[in-house]
Structure 1
């Protein structure tokens, strides 16, 4: 019976979020929902947790639970954040957090072929979709190739600026892993410290032979507002020889 109540409350809360409320609206308090659905607080909390996991609702630290603006679904491909968001039907925007010369971390320095005391251009930005925080991007680039980058409008696509400087991003090596949000990242993304996030490490290349390193980036995405989509096809040649 408890399981049936939980499923019923979850469906009713989903209907409320998707039909009775709008994205960004606050969900009624737990006590109010208890009275409305005549169930225990445990049942309410379980249903809410399920809907947060599905991306229907989102918890905001110290504020409450709100109707989600929706998850951005992205295919794995070479595109800027702005292109990705527009393709998904969202309006992208950017807030520049840091833009300066700074000594890069070891991985970034190694990729960009910089010495231990060589600074790189650091551009750290908060990326938003429909004004809701989606990711924090930390990008490192070699000053020798883009010396005027800090004078540009960094709210716009960095890839566009790199292309205009004669160094378009032509090849990318990228890894994705699950991680827990650190305190600085959590504050920017408006989530609780330790919340699950997707961590992208990207090494980008330019040049005719696509071997000149142009960017090293670390992007942290809210897992409740971003998901990856992949298409896989079996290699026929490989499958025909497999045993």
Structure 2
């Protein structure tokens, strides 16, 4: 059945047309599969007797939320579902597998480098101290999901510079090979634009929204064990929180 056949015939007079159109589009998106096309702005405007600017505004809002994707010259399509960050401390590999996706990675760089001021500060080291740096593109079902760089003190994790990390979970390698334990982590998340080489590696248009995570793994004594930053595609990843209000 075509997307047009799934749509209600007309709008009611009980609420604003824009609100009704938004609800109709959300229901349609839920019923379709990622990559399926939506009716054009012209079709929707004519079907529901609304201004094309109203239609465009609702589709623009859906695109900003990552529900749909616009392709120049082709139309608007249902976007891939977003992956939500797990509440518990877990690796990228664990996150993807929990959601039925196949995790993978492409190693862009791996070796020992001197810690710059930022890395040294976050690891509690002197600037210039040797650290192992691992830079990877993380994938889900073969599609780029995040760009990641991890830094670890070379005096303990020097062998990591030569480890095969192409399909490996860094958390698992640290736990099983180095007997490292990191029960807690400090994490900061900021919204950024994905630009330059990062956009190329993640296969998104420059200027698209991203989420950048800065994570410090802490050992049992809450000493810094590793520092990593991860840049996730904003159209494929989201953060969900459950919060409680204290009396």
Same fold (TM over 0.5): yes
Deviation per residue, 1:88-117 (Å, 9 max, x gap):
333322222222223334221122243333
Give runs of aligned pairs for residues 79-94 of structure 1, distance below 5 A.
Answer: 79-94=90-105
Distance 1:60 1:198, change over 3 A: farther
| Cα distance between partner residues in 2 of 1:61 and 1:170 | 46
Q: Does 1:145 align with 2:152?
A: no
Q: Which moved more, 1:5-14 or 1:217-226?
A: 5-14
Q: Does 1:209 align with 2:221?
A: yes
Checking the alignment, whether the CA contact within 8 Å between 1:94 and 1:127 is kept in structure 2 is yes
| Cα distance between partner residues in 1 of 2:99 and 2:144 | 15
Extract unaligned runs of 5+ from structure 2. 1-10
Checking the alignment, whether the CA contact within 8 Å between 1:198 and 1:222 is kept in structure 2 is yes
Q: Does 1:190 align with 2:203?
A: yes
Give runs of aligned pairs for residues 59-208 of structure 1, distance below 5 A.
Answer: 59=70, 65-154=76-165, 155-164=167-176, 165-206=178-219, 208=220
Deviation per residue, 1:3-54 (Å, 9 max, x gap):
966556545554554445x3245x47xxx82443337654453233222233
Q: Secondary structure of 1:215's match?
A: strand
Residue correspondences, number: 228
Distance 1:121 1:63, change over 3 A: farther
Extract unaligned runs of 5+ from structure 1. none
Give runs of aligned pairs for residues 21-32 of structure 1, distance below 5 A.
Answer: 22-25=33-36, 27=37
Distance 1:105 1:195, change over 3 A: farther
Distance 1:234 1:51, change over 3 A: closer
Q: Which moved more, 1:53-62 or 1:187-196?
A: 53-62
Partner of 1:36: 43
Q: Secondary structure of 2:231's match?
A: strand
Checking the alignment, whether the CA contact within 8 Å between 2:133 and 2:161 is kept in structure 1 is no
| Cα distance between partner residues in 1 of 2:196 and 2:52 | 29
Distance 1:61 1:176, change over 3 A: farther
Q: CA RMSD in A?
A: 3.0
Partner of 1:223: 234
Offset of residue 162 of structure 1: 0.8
| Cα distance between partner residues in 1 of 2:149 and 2:71 | 23
- TM (normalized to structure 2)? 0.77
Q: Secondary structure of 1:229's match?
A: coil
- TM (normalized to structure 1)? 0.78
Deviation per residue, 1:203-238 (Å, 9 max, x gap):
1122x4242x22111111222221222222345xxx
| Cα distance between partner residues in 1 of 2:151 and 2:75 | 35
